[in-house]
Structure 1
């Protein structure tokens, strides 16, 4: 078999359907809406609007959120069709494996894996920092050795981060439906906290804080500020806020009636998130001049206290800390299903693709959890943060283009989905271009980290995956008469 034919060998969608049939289908639209909102509306809604406004956009931060939402929305339509047509564990990895071939599926999946590893470490450390901030006024503090990553400010391990990531894994290990119930309750609490901030903040808005809405462009030590250049820089910084809808798609093999459940969950959660992000950013900027949010890790609390609502600030921040746990659940579920898919296909050791006696992919779950804990314990998050967006954007580009390979097969070897991406063939191209547009706006470090992760993925594929995958073994049987 030629090299090109080897890397483009495609998995039969019926094989995935059979392999994933053992997973329990228990998740409904409300569960996916909670997973999506819980993952998308996470740490970033309480931090990013103020930070981006101070660094790049000024009052026009809301425009950056809208532009980022348009890009995410274009890709979300492609995700919705893919998930409805092929409700397999592993989302983009499995889909691209079917429509483009093994190598391209591996690259898309490997890019997403970076998101899940680092996002788990990010949310865990963010939850830890916010919880410690709430406990400090009560005189409850932890030593630096138990508060920071190894080698950072005297840190050995961020113990709170380790505990909350592990607790999320224990909850998921008990079953996706049980985790979803907890997720549903926590998401309601988190949305309540956001709405409380918006309602209280509306009465403290000063129109003068919105002028000029788009400040004049100039360069700063942090890059462009003001003008459309600043808004574009803000989009690249904000985009990681919207990537959580992939966590819904990764669990599509556990969806009840995925033809309807998946599109509604993906598009519905993104729509809710956009409204909340834009509303929070507008209220936040209206309450205080954007310059006040520079170097503030808690702009929502800062704005509420400045407006004389210290009690509300405590309530909102307390619920926000609890609400961050929802992102840990969503990311852990999605990442573990992706690793399970790698093991299922032999791209990584096959024991990762084995289910326990209750038909749960818990080996993959604990592998993800341990690696995420190590990343959070060893690396200061600032070193790797933008790799979350970089890896996801690469997968988004693959999925957008994948619609062109999917359509000719719908109704043939792939079921004809109840939902299809509108304005075909124009919208898939727009989704690809939009994702590339955001990727090009990432800083050079993010692109370098993405390149290093890509090279590591190539090494693993050519050294292990290409020869150990089930497609390779199938090819050996088909062409050699017996397995080699």
Structure 2
């Protein structure tokens, strides 16, 4: 096979009708409020209870709120691209399916494989954060787990497995297996309670703010480090970009949404506005209560700050809600990741059994595959290690979705429907969006980039040894 034929095969595009037919077996029950709840549950999940303190101590100091704003701007640009694409192509798998239709199978695999890294690590990351809060809550009553089962694998500390992390994933996977309609009811209640308690933290914590803790607001940059100055703010934005991966989690459920043309853009933008507002407020209160440096390596800074400020009852209430509330993030991520894995199976890029849909209209094989794998990852690797890796895959997908607008717009009104929501300032804003995500990606730490490269290499091996050989795209390819 010559080079041109190989290239043509890699760029072979999927037919939208094929996805529409296959995804029709899924439940179509999600409303706008459900999408905002899923997105908010993920955006203000582990990140809002953990990352403001960690990023303040390691990167931005009191200016951590600016890191969240910078990340929100980058994510918001991508959300505009997601909004347009999801109204035209409301299929399971989000960027994987979109890029498959617009650029071709190989590029779709790259986008999907990038997202799988994000989802796979996010499930373990959130579960690890839940475990940290559970251990902190129990310790306030003098209850401690045996060292061997209280943390990720660490021979120095004598820990081998994080049993709470594995348990959290198991419980949420069981809940999701009961069906999307049932699980979204639980999700909506949890998110409402969680937002209420976040507001309580903001108002109660504000009474213990010491203005001196905001000085200097932007600490001086320390040469040779990622702390202080503009470098610290940007580095912090790169690390906390995990907070905004909820956008793709919303889009991954487009095939199960009642009216995606209306609900998807509202769900995306509603999540962005609500999430950013809460992040900025929590960050300002947290660094105002205590000097930012005390939050170093603290996976439960909000509850810690309340306890040490004398608000023990509110701190314990926050811990309890955090324990329950973090399940909302796990629900959103497991839903999205199982739908992406289902999409891989639907396209025969991975074993077709992953596309099996049970009597409850749940892709159960995909759900339990990702759940078991994440249980292993989350129970072995420590929280701080996972937090550095999760943003890379999302950023790559955001870049590809931003550029996809250039392939989508010419086809609208021809072989694809006209978008009910359009990304403004076309053709300038899509490239600005892509460059913003690329800029944040370049500021990720070295470990994230190296491990993402390893993940990519593994993905390429998997594609050329399995995916391209089993794909059925030749049978239902499009002319575009």
- The two structures share one fold, judged by TM-score above 0.5: yes
**More deviation, 198-207/263-272:** 198-207
Residue 419 of structure 2, aligned match among 417, 435, 449: 417
Mapped contact 1:384–1:449 kept (Cα < 8 A): no
1:209/1:379 CA distance change after superposition, 3 Å: closer
> Which moves more between the two structures, 47-56 or 383-392?
383-392
Q: Is 2:35 the partner of 1:32?
A: yes
Provide the secondary structure at the position in 2 that maps to 1:224.
coil
Aligned to 2:277: 275
- Distance apart, 1:100 and its partner CA: 0.5
Distance 2:295 2:359 in 1: 51
Q: 2:200 aligns with which of 196, 200, 206?
A: 196
* Aligned match of 1:47: 50
- The answer to whether the Cα contact below 8 Å between 2:125 and 2:386 also exists between their aligned partners in 1 is no
Q: Give 1:239 shift.
A: 1.1
Residue of structure 1 equivalent to 2:185 = 181
Structure 1 counterpart of 2:151: 148
Aligned-pair CA distance for 1:424: 0.9
Distance 1:440 1:149 in 2: 28
Q: Secondary structure at the match of 1:18?
A: helix
Q: 1:99 deviation in Å? A: 0.3
Aligned-CA RMSD value: 1.6
Q: Distance in 1 between matches of 2:67 and 2:470?
A: 44
Matched, 1:215 2:219: yes
SS class of match (2:212): helix
Residue-by-residue CA offset, 1:215-273 (whole Å, 9 max, x unaligned): 222236xx232211111111111111111111110010000110001111111111100
Q: Is the 8 A contact 1:466 1:472 kept in 2?
A: no
In terms of mean alpha carbon deviation, does 130-139 or 432-441 score higher? Answer: 130-139
TM-score (norm 2): 0.95
1:206 to 1:137, Cα distance in 2 relative to 1, 3 A: closer
Aligned to 1:336: 338
2:349 matched residue in structure 1: 347
Q: 1:290-439, aligned counterparts within 5 Å?
A: 290-439=292-441
Following superposition, the deviation at residue 142 of structure 1 comes to 2.0
Per-residue Cα deviation, 1:383-425 (whole angstroms, up to 9, x for no partner): 4432210111111110000010000011111111211111111
Mark the runs of 5 or more structure 1 residues left unpaired by the alignment. 479-484
Task: Pick the aligned partner of 2:233 from 231, 251, 254.
Answer: 231
Return the alpha-carbon distance in structure 2 between the equivalents of residues 471 and 439 of structure 1. Answer: 32
Could you tell me whether the CA contact under 8 Å between 1:390 and 1:450 is conserved in 2? yes
Contact map agreement 1:29 1:265 (CA 8 A) in 2? yes
Q: Give the Cα separation in 1 of the matches to 2:207 and 2:387.
A: 35
Q: Deviations over 1:134-168 (max 9, x none)?
A: 11233433212222234553334322222210111
CA distance 1:145–1:241, shift in 2 (3 Å): same
Identify the match of residue 174 of structure 2 among 170, 187, 198: 170
Q: Could you tell me which residue of structure 2 aligns to residue 481 of structure 1?
A: none
Once residues 219 and 144 of structure 2 are traced to their aligned partners in structure 1, the CA distance between those partners, rounded to angstroms, is: 41
Q: Aligned pairs, how many? A: 474
8 A contact 2:49–2:302 mirrored in 1: yes
Partner of 2:70: 67
In structure 2, C-alpha distance between the alignment counterparts of 1:342 and 1:304, rounded to whole Å = 45
Structure 1 CA distance for aligned equivalents of residues 141 and 287 of structure 2: 30
Distance 2:386 2:211 in 1: 38
Q: Which stretches in structure 2 are left out of the alignment for 5+ residues? A: none
Deviation at 1:473, TM superposition (A): 5.3
Give yes or no for contact 1:131–1:321 (8 Å, CA) kept in 2.
yes
Residue 289 of structure 1 is matched in structure 2 by 291
Q: TM-score, normalised by structure 1?
A: 0.95
The corresponding residue for 1:468 is 470
Q: How many Å separate the matches in 1 of 2:458 and 2:347?
A: 19
Residue 246 in 1 paired to residue 285 in 2? no
